[in-house]
Amino acid sequence: MTVRSTDLIHHPYEAPQGFRSVVPAVHKASTVIFPDTAALATTQWKDKSGYTYGLHGTPTTFTLEERLATLEGGHQALLAPSGLSALALVNQSLLRAGDEVLLPDNAYGPNKDVVRAELAHWGVRHAFYNPLDAADLAARITPATRLVWLEAAGSVTLEFPDLDGLLAVCRQHPRIVAALDNTWGAGLAFQPFELGLPDRHGSRGVDLTVHALTKYPSGGGDVLMGAVVTRDEALHHQLKMSHMRFGLGVSGNDAEFILKGLSSIHVRYAAHDAATRHVTAWLLQQTAFSQVLHPALPDAPGHAHWLRHCRSAAGLVSMVFEADDWPQSRVHAFVDRLRLFKIGYSWGGPMSLVMPYGLTGMRQFGALADHTGTLVRLSIGLEQPDDLIADLSQALALS
Ligand SMILES: *Cc1c(COP(=O)(O)O)cnc(C)c1O
């Protein structure tokens, strides 16, 4: 029997052009085929006018990049395999031996680990600043400072930084790139490229944003991906060349999930926001916590900054337990008694999540600096908020 393998691989049938549907097609490739050697020599991927290799982009990833740039208010975007790899790309692409990077005290923990454990090996120094005090940032800038990270609200403790003040400090030093981890804001809570006053070139806002698409853009708790969005073509080009040389690609199927999630992100974000405020109002009436941390609360650290920039507040709220009445074992028993809230990292999906954090040594600045208690972060999903309150209530009553 003849195996028609050649015909199966080089089949003459070609489906007709012009298929259109609601969702963008999922294109997948390592190899991209060139019609002839002239095309091999002239095809350009850097300006998205053509395709050369799977790592350099497909119609699916180009489409996702363009939509993400629109979401964040930028002009260009790059996709990375995770939010953390997008953070690492920015650090690796922009920093050289002898340079210094500054991070907020409440930066996403693994980004702190990148600078501590990886960049340190390459002769890049780092320091942490108080995100609520622009003067503290100004005092830490040295002639070696090349990159300043911003994060709003800060990870876990959710202080909202003085974005305008911090950016004004960065703008006094033209060599500094101001990079925002915008996972919490998601391009919806505020406009990162429209912050503050224009500099002398007329540009405003941050130089780049990093977004963990793993969270709200995915919305499913099922895909890992990250993005770096810029407005400046030269900065984008530098990041893009590093991105290519490091071989950072994403799968077409994962891009499909993010594209699908993006079209409903604003509705889900508003639902997470409303439900979180509802749960937060109930948390405030409980006596077990010494503090409830949510940027829309009038006494939240940085509330005035949140009010100036934002009308929404995402889906995270944290509670602080004092060590005297609530030793870690008692807090963990409360967490273990929750039924709807599952214990897990990440956020932005349909299922509510809970994560306890020991506060000892977590913060250098602010009211939590010398705290020895335990913090519990809730990520509010898309369940009925009153069911979540009932769950918290039964677990507290038993603990
Ligand atoms: C989750 C998260 C990241 C990292 O995203 P991954 O896709 O999980 O690597 C980065 N920054 C913030 C603020 C995050 O919450």
Find all residues with CB under 8 Å of 346, minimum gap 6, and list them.
Answer: 214, 215, 221, 353, 379
Mean pLDDT of the chain: 96
Q: Which atom of ligand 1 is nearest to the CA of 212?
A: 5
Instruction: Name the phi and psi angles at 39, rounded to 5.
Output: -65, -35
For the record, the structure tokens of 60 come out as 């699916």
Cβ(280) to ligand 1 under 6 A?
A: no
Minimal CA–CA distance to 316: which of 288, 346, 287? 346
Atom 4, ligand 1: residue with shortest CA distance: 83
Write down the pLDDT at residue 200.
Answer: 67
Q: 375 and 359 in contact (C-beta within 8 Å)? A: yes
Residue 234 Cα to chain centre, angstroms? 23
Atom number of ligand 1 nearest to Cα 215: 1
To test the pocket of ligand 1, the residue of 68, 84, 157, 211 to mutate (highest count of ligand atoms within 8 Å of its CB) is 84
- pLDDT at position 2, please? 81
The crossing angle, in degrees rounded to 10, of helices 59-72 and 252-262 is 40
DSSP 323: T
Give residue 203's pLDDT band: very low, low, confident or very high (50, 70, 90).
confident
The residue among 105, 68, 118, 111 whose CA lies nearest residue 87 is 111
How far, in Å, is the centroid of ligand 1 from the Cα of 181? 9
Looking at residue 184, what is its pLDDT?
Answer: 98
Q: What per-residue confidence (pLDDT) applies to 255?
A: 98
End-to-end CA distance of the chain: 73
Using the mean position of ligand 1's atoms as its centre, give its distance from the Cα of residue 82 in Å: 7
Q: For 25-50, how does the pLDDT look when each residue is reduced to its tens digit (9 = 90+)?
A: 999 999 999 999 999 999 999 999 99
| pLDDT tens-digit series, residues 362-388 | 999 999 999 999 999 999 999 999 999
160 CB near ligand 1 (under 6 Å): no
The side-by-side arrangement of strands in the sheet containing 208-212 is 76-80, 226-230, 208-212, 177-181, 145-151, 100-104, 125-129
For 328-358, write each residue's pLDDT tens digit.
999 999 999 999 999 999 999 999 999 999 9
Atom index in ligand 1 nearest the CA of residue 85 equals 9
Q: How far is the CA of 183 from the centre of ligand 1 (A)?
A: 7
Ligand 1, residue 184: give the atom nearest the CA: 13
> How many angstroms is it from 372 CA to the middle of ligand 1?
25
Q: Where are the domains of the chain?
A: 37-262, 265-398
218 lines ligand 1 (CB under 6 A): no
Residue with tokens 């990159």: 147
| CA gap 28, 213 in Å, rounded | 20
pLDDT of 196: 80
Mutate to test the pocket of ligand 1, among 87, 209, 215, 345 (most ligand atoms within 8 A of CB): 215
Query: CA 2, CA 112: separation in Å to the nearest integer?
Result: 60
Q: Please report, for residues 147, 183, 214, 346, 381, the alpha-carbon distance to residue 84 in angstroms, rounded to integers and kept in the order given.
A: 17, 11, 10, 12, 22
User: In CATH, what is the architecture of 265-398?
Assistant: Alpha-Beta Complex (3.90)
**Number of helical (H) and strand (E) elements in the chain, helices listed first:** 13, 12
**Confidence at residue 222, expressed as pLDDT on a 0 to 100 scale:** 95
Q: In angstroms, what is the span from residue 191 Cα to ligand 1's centroid?
A: 19
Q: Which atom of ligand 1 is nearest to the CA of 225?
A: 7
pTM: 0.96
Measured by CA distance, the residue closest to atom 15 of ligand 1 is 183
Query: Ligand 1 pocket: which of 155, 214, 218, 379 to mutate (most atoms <8 Å of CB)?
Result: 214
Tell me the C-alpha distance between 60 and 253, whole Å. Answer: 9
When pLDDT is cut at 50, 70 and 90, the band that residue 3 belongs to is confident
Got the DSSP string for 110-138?
Answer: HHHHIIIIIGGGGT-EEEEE-TT-HHHHH
Instruction: pLDDT band for 73, please (50, 70, 90 cuts).
Output: very high
Which among 332, 337, 339, 338 has a CA at the least distance from the CA of 375? 332
Query: Is it true that domain 37-262 has CATH number 3.30.310.10?
Result: no
- Statement: residue 1 has pLDDT above 80: no
Tell me how far CA of residue 229 lies from CA of 34, 65, 183, 216, in angstroms.
Answer: 29, 9, 12, 16
Calculate how far, in angstroms, residue 266's C-alpha sits from the geometric centre of ligand 1: 19
Q: What angle do CA 176, 205, 123 make, to 5 degrees?
A: 25
pLDDT of residue 198: 76
Q: How far is the CA of 87 from the centre of ligand 1 (A)?
A: 9
Q: Whose CA is nearest to atom 8 of ligand 1?
A: 83
Cα–Cα separations (whole angstroms), residue 226 to 72, 82, 248, 370: 13, 4, 11, 33
Q: In this predicted model, what pLDDT tens digit does every residue of 141-171 receive, in sequence order?
A: 999 999 999 999 999 999 999 999 999 999 9
Percent of the chain residues past pLDDT 90, beyond the cut: 96
Task: Please compute Rg for the chain using Cα positions.
Answer: 23
Q: Among 329, 317, 339, 342, which Cα is nearest to 399's?
A: 329
Determine the distance separating the centroid of ligand 1 and the alpha carbon of 145, expressed in angstroms. Answer: 24
pLDDT tens-digit series, residues 206-242? 999 999 999 999 999 999 999 999 999 999 999 999 9
